[in-house]
């Protein structure tokens, strides 16, 4: 059952939620560069009487009831923006050219600040600790790695994060059990060959043919070596460059690509296969190759007990028939690094949920996340804040 005081506090705070979101929206900063946003959040948290721990290079942790002997629940909001020029014309549009909050992280921050204020007011009703994580760099995955390395998941019994989404209607929420969102890897393949005149290609080592062979073989591996039903992988080639003139064999060629996955083991095997294919492709044409990769995000794997709590709370807020529980998408979210673990750092159980913000009566809210004119319906924010706060309340009181 929704805590009446929590709901009253947050609903009465709606104007402030919207105001703070707009302030953050006007001043977007890119991943791991969010200095002013970081300072804004820190000042807010300190004004609530909380002790704030500064993470590096940006990011913040604060706790409600830090000395409790009970369990610990973590609530997370990201606060980085995207390198996208905003085309909206409202008075709180981005002031920073080429940067905008086109994915709603400004809303996440405002909602978690509101949830924090409300939870502080009822802290005597919380038989445990609420750890508040304001995380940088979600869009690149660097933020998730940084905060995990700095120990934010240690001792956490359940973590919860939400994401505002205009892919879902206003008044709806969506989540899944187990594998819910994909992890992703970025990789770059640099082939080195030998230049020759276009009239005598046999005297050279064609780097473009190496790239061509790599793509063909990688596609074949996708078709014949990937379990598309149980461990699907989505491969995308993003950038190809090579050569300099039309009448010469290319001595250099580069491919930049990415793939998405739901199983860490399957991803590890596919990386090995891609490296093998790269070596084969270079060897076929007498060249050499350098293969580099970087994990962006881990798969979001929602733990059952945490997801049960999130679904129960969401149904109480939005309605029994307005919460989808079978979400599974190939999009990525670096909250998965906190849930699935990163390298040898400690993971935590938890869950992740999307909150709808597409108003069917307002076409301005239709553009999807990462659009230049992204504009989620602001009436969604109070329920997002309540969802965060009530999740913490329920998890601590029921576990």
**Residues 297-308: tens digit of each pLDDT:** 889 999 999 999
108 assigned to a ligand binding site: no
pLDDT per position as a tens digit, 40-89: 999 999 999 999 999 999 999 999 999 999 999 999 999 999 999 999 99
How buried is residue 248: exposed, middle or buried, by Cβ count under 10 Å (0-12/13-18/19+)? middle
Q: Is 163 annotated as a binding residue?
A: yes
- pTM listed for this prediction: 0.91
User: For the segment 333-376, what is each residue's pLDDT rounded down to a tens digit?
Assistant: 999 999 987 788 889 999 999 999 999 999 999 999 999 999 99
The answer to whether 74 touches 158, Cβ cutoff 8 Å, is yes
Give me the mean pLDDT over the 224-247 stretch. Answer: 95
**pLDDT of 199:** 97
Q: Report the interhelical angle of 381-398 vs 4-11 (nearest 10°).
A: 160
Mean pLDDT of 116-125: 98
**Cα 384 off chain centre by:** 17
How would residue 203 be classed by pLDDT, with cut points 50, 70 and 90? very high
Report pLDDT for 122.
98
What pLDDT is stored for residue 343 in this prediction?
Answer: 81
User: How far is Cα 377 from Cα 143, in angstroms, rounded to an integer?
Assistant: 27
Does the pLDDT value for residue 320 go beyond 90? yes
CB 355 within 8 A of CB 380: yes
Q: What is the pLDDT of residue 342?
A: 78
Q: What average pLDDT does range 149-165 have in this prediction?
A: 97
Q: What is the pLDDT of residues 171-201, one digit of tens each?
A: 999 999 999 999 999 999 999 999 999 999 9
Distances (CA, A) of 280 to 190, 207, 241, 364: 13, 13, 20, 50
DSSP 370: T
Q: Which domains does the chain have, with CATH numbers?
A: 4-181+299-397 (3.40.630.10), 183-297 (3.30.70.360)
Q: Phi and psi of 141, rounded to 5°?
A: 85, -10
Q: Is the pLDDT of residue 216 over 90?
A: yes
pLDDT in tens, 243-261: 999 999 999 999 999 999 9
> Which residue has tokens 């504009």?
375
* pLDDT on residue 341: 76
What does the alpha-carbon distance between residue 7 and residue 396 come to, in Å, rounded to a whole number?
17
Instruction: Output the average pLDDT for the chain.
Output: 97
197 is in an annotated binding site: no
* pLDDT computed for residue 344 by the predictor: 84
User: What are the backbone dihedrals phi and psi of residue 156, each rounded to the nearest 5 degrees, phi first?
Assistant: -85, 130
Q: What is the CA 84 to chain-centroid distance, rounded?
A: 17
Residue 38 banded pLDDT, cuts 50, 70, 90: very high
Sign of CA dihedral 305, 334, 111, 327: negative
């Amino acid at each position: 059952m929704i805590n009446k005081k929590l709901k009253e506090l947050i609903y009465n705070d709606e104007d402030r939620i919207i105001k703070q979101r707009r302030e953050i929206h006007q001043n977007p900063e890119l991943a791991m560069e969010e200095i002013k946003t970081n300072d804004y959040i820190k000042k807010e948290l300190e004004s609530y009487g909380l002790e704030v721990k500064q993470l590096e290079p940006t990011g913040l942790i604060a706790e409600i009831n830090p000395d409790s002997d009970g369990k610990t629940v973590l609530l997370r909001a990201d606060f980085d923006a995207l390198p996208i020029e905003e085309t909206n014309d409202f008075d709180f549009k981005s002031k920073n050219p080429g940067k905008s909050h086109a994915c709603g992280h400004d809303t996440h921050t405002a909602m978690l600040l509101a949830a924090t204020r409300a939870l502080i007011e009822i802290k005597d009703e919380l038989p445990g600790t609420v750890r508040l994580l304001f995380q940088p760099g979600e869009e690149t995955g660097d933020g998730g790695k940084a905060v995990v390395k700095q120990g934010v998941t240690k001792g956490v019994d359940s973590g919860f994060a939400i994401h505002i989404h205009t892919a879902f209607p206003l008044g709806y929420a969506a989540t899944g059990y187990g594998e819910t969102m994909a992890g992703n890897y970025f990789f770059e393949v640099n082939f080195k060959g030998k230049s020759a005149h276009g009239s005598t290609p046999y005297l050279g080592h064609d780097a473009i043919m190496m790239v061509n062979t790599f793509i063909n073989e990688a596609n074949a591996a996708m078709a014949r070596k990937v379990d598309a039903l149980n461990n699907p992988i989505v491969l995308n080639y993003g950038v190809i460059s090579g050569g300099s003139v039309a009448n010469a064999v290319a001595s250099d060629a580069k491919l930049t690509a990415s793939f998405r996955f739901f199983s860490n083991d399957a991803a590890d095997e596919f990386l090995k296969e891609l490296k093998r294919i790269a070596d084969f492709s270079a060897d076929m044409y007498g060249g050499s190759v350098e293969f580099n990769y970087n994990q962006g995000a881990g798969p979001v794997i929602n733990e059952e007990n945490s997801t049960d709590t999130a679904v129960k709370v969401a149904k109480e807020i939005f309605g029994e028939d307005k919460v989808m529980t079978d979400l599974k998408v190939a999009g990525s979210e670096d909250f998965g690094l906190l849930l699935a673990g990163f390298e040898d750092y400690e993971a935590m159980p938890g869950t992740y949920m999307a909150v709808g913000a597409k108003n069917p009566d307002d076409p301005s809210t239709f553009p999807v996340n990462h659009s230049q004119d992204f504009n989620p319906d602001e009436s969604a924010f109070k329920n997002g804040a309540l969802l965060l706060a009530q999740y913490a309340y329920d998890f601590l009181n029921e576990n």
